[in-house]
Amino acid sequence: MIEGNPYNEATMKGTVDIPRYGLDLLVVLERAGFEAWVVGGFVRDALLGRSSHDVDIATNAPWTEVQRVSVAAGFSTHETGTAHGTLTVIVPDADDPQTKYGIEVTTFRTDGAYDDARHPTQVEFVRTIEEDLARRDFTMNALAYHPQRGLLDPFDGLSDIEGGLIRMVGDPHERMAEDALRILRACRFASQLGFRIDDATFQAMLERKHLLAQVSVERVTSELDGLLLGAHVHDALMKCADVLSFVLPELLAMKECPQVTPYHIYDVLEHTAWAVQHTPPERLTRWAALFHDMGKPAAAFFSSDGVEHFYGHAAVSMVIARGIMDRLLMSNRFKDRALTLVKRHDEVIEPDARSVKRALRRLGGDVDLFRKLCAIKRADALSQAPQCAPRAALADELEQVLEEVLATEEAFTVRDLVIDGEDVMAAGVPEGPAVGDALARALDAVIDGRKKNERDELLGFIALADAQSDTVRSDI
């Protein structure tokens, strides 16, 4: 903690509550004769009552001076973006010095020309905070706060926050041409905050979406992750589908697939948007929910009675999902688990121990994946016609049965058996694929309740099955 901090408890409890570590760094900079403000997303979130630890500071001090005075105060620094005037200062928590926070401190600047629709070719350092705020993307982010000077809001961002509006600072066409990632950021903020996108800003997003081709795949994936995890993801997907189509063109076919069945009241896109909304805000589950019915437009056909059918849509959804995840450079483990959820989302699982254990076996014993499958089944039911909503209770029953299976330590994978491959070979089964087959038969017998998971009983079962197999072979 900085001794003699002039920002006492009274000044801390203003419009924006700045954490102690942020105030300490402000003190260090201003005692050295510089001007400093807390800026951007932290101010926005504080005004919204959202918790955040990511304090950013803008100052008229060159980064070299920020480093000098910070080190003199006992803080460490990282030169994370000094070409653009940004230095990260590591400030310890006053109450727990082992806990440290990284604060990005950036010299007041304005951006030069953008040649790649993403990065300025150069930056120019400016004298005032007002000039610095003018370069920021949305009015709700073009805010600065100081515990004594109050809120600086040159673009009426506070009114937009109060009105739930996402509006670009300046000409939206020009700002998105500078940095195309702002297009996806607007979609993400709509999902996270539940804000409406200003009409002029949205029109510019549509007209400039082709510039997303110049944004790195990693940044696109990160923004899509944030969008899908948002508390208002249904509304954002429905509003922004045409914009998002440049990075997720698969959405457009879903938008045009009506689902003329007794079980649905939405087209595939809106059903999917609701399914994503109804799942827990966890990355794998929400991506799998987005993917689960993507194959329906390709699988769709109408029978003679005018009802639409989607036979085999899960298999097509898997092909589409794999292509998207490959394109977005997702990890192999993530892809495998997401594809498993898509494949199994329509699978019938009865709420009894035998069925649950068989499902767990098909999932490789992955209990967490089973819970995620239940979440998708629940969300799927809640996103169909009203008469289908009670089916969501089945997912609750499945999870209850799962807990009972886990509590009794019942076997549902070969690893859970009290015998292993060595035991099987000692019982007379020759080394090779037959060992795995024998263990699989033993697991089936345990899951079905025909045999207990006890060593002598299972080895006797395997020996008998092997002897019967030998008899069949000799008859042949």
Given a cut of 90, whether residue 94 has pLDDT beyond it is: no
DSSP-derived pairing of the beta strands 56-59 and 100-107: parallel
Q: At what angle do helices 367-382 and 268-278 cross, to 10 degrees?
A: 130
**Average pLDDT, stretch 326-337?**
98
Is 368 in contact with 318 (CB distance < 8 Å)? no
**H helices of 247-352, where?**
250-255, 268-278, 283-291, 296-299, 313-327, 332-344
Q: pLDDT digits over 134-154, tens only?
A: 999 999 999 999 999 999 999
Backbone torsions φ then ψ of 324, nearest 5 degrees: -65, -45
* Dihedral angle over CA of 373, 379, 382, 388, nearest 10: -20
Backbone torsions φ then ψ of 221, nearest 5 degrees: -60, -40
The Cα 97–Cα 99 span in angstroms is 5
CATH of domain 1-159: 3.30.460.10
Residue 399: exposed, middle, or buried by beta-carbon count in 10 A (0-12, 13-18, 19+)? middle
Place of tokens 């739930």: 164
pLDDT at 474: 44
For residue 256 the two structure tokens come to 């045009």
Q: In 3-state terms, what secondary structure has residue 228?
A: helix
Average pLDDT, the chain: 92
CA-nearest of 274, 335, 44 to 169 is 44
Q: pLDDT digits over 14-31, tens only?
A: 478 999 999 999 999 999
pTM over 0.95: no
Given a cut of 80, whether residue 3 has pLDDT beyond it is: no
Q: Establish how many alpha carbons lie within 13 A of residue 158's alpha carbon, considering only the half-sphere containing its beta carbon.
A: 13
pLDDT at 467: 60
DSSP-derived pairing of the beta strands 150-152 and 86-92: unpaired
Q: pLDDT digits over 47-58, tens only?
A: 999 988 899 999
Q: pLDDT digits over 256-313, tens only?
A: 899 999 999 999 999 999 999 999 999 999 999 999 999 999 999 999 999 899 999 9
**Alpha-carbon distances of 139 from 124, 160, 173, 186, 389, rounded to whole Å:** 21, 7, 15, 12, 41
Predicted confidence band of residue 13 (pLDDT cuts 50, 70, 90): very low
pLDDT at 96: 87
Given a cut of 70, whether residue 4 has pLDDT beyond it is: no
Is 458 in contact with 441 (CB distance < 8 Å)? no
Q: pLDDT digits over 415-471, tens only?
A: 999 999 999 998 888 999 999 999 999 999 999 999 999 999 999 898 876 666 555
Q: pLDDT digits over 65-82, tens only?
A: 999 999 999 999 999 999
Strands of 46-157, DSSP E: 56-59, 76-81, 86-92, 100-107, 109-111, 123-125, 144-146, 150-152
pLDDT at 344: 97
For residue 413 the two structure tokens come to 């994978």
For residue 53 the two structure tokens come to 């630890």
CA-nearest of 262, 247, 241 to 307 is 262
For residue 91 the two structure tokens come to 């400030």
b vs e for 210-230, b when ≥16 Cβ sit within 10 Å of the residue's Cβ? ebbeebeeeebbebbbbbbbb
Residue 152: exposed, middle, or buried by beta-carbon count in 10 A (0-12, 13-18, 19+)? middle
Q: pLDDT digits over 109-134, tens only?
A: 987 555 555 556 667 899 999 999 99
Q: pLDDT digits over 199-234, tens only?
A: 999 999 999 999 999 999 999 999 999 999 999 999
- Within 10 Å of residue 119's Cβ, how many Cβ atoms? 14
Is 39 in contact with 144 (CB distance < 8 Å)? yes
Strands of 93-164, DSSP E: 100-107, 109-111, 123-125, 144-146, 150-152
Amino acid at 268: V
Is 200 in contact with 172 (CB distance < 8 Å)? yes
pLDDT at 139: 98
b vs e for 357-380, b when ≥16 Cβ sit within 10 Å of the residue's Cβ? bbbbbbbebeeebbebbbbbbbbb
Beta-carbon contacts of residue 220 (< 8 Å; ≥ 6 apart) = 184, 212, 247, 328
For residue 153 the two structure tokens come to 């809001």
**Alpha-carbon distances of 350 from 12, 275, 357, 358, 385, rounded to whole Å:** 57, 22, 10, 10, 22
Task: Please work out, in degrees rounded to the nearest 5, the angle formed at the alpha carbon of residue 450 by the alpha carbons of 445 and 454.
Answer: 75
Predicted confidence band of residue 8 (pLDDT cuts 50, 70, 90): very low
pLDDT at 307: 87
**Average pLDDT, stretch 240-246?**
98
Q: State whether CATH 3.60.110.10 applies to domain 164-247.
A: no
The Cα 449–Cα 276 span in angstroms is 37
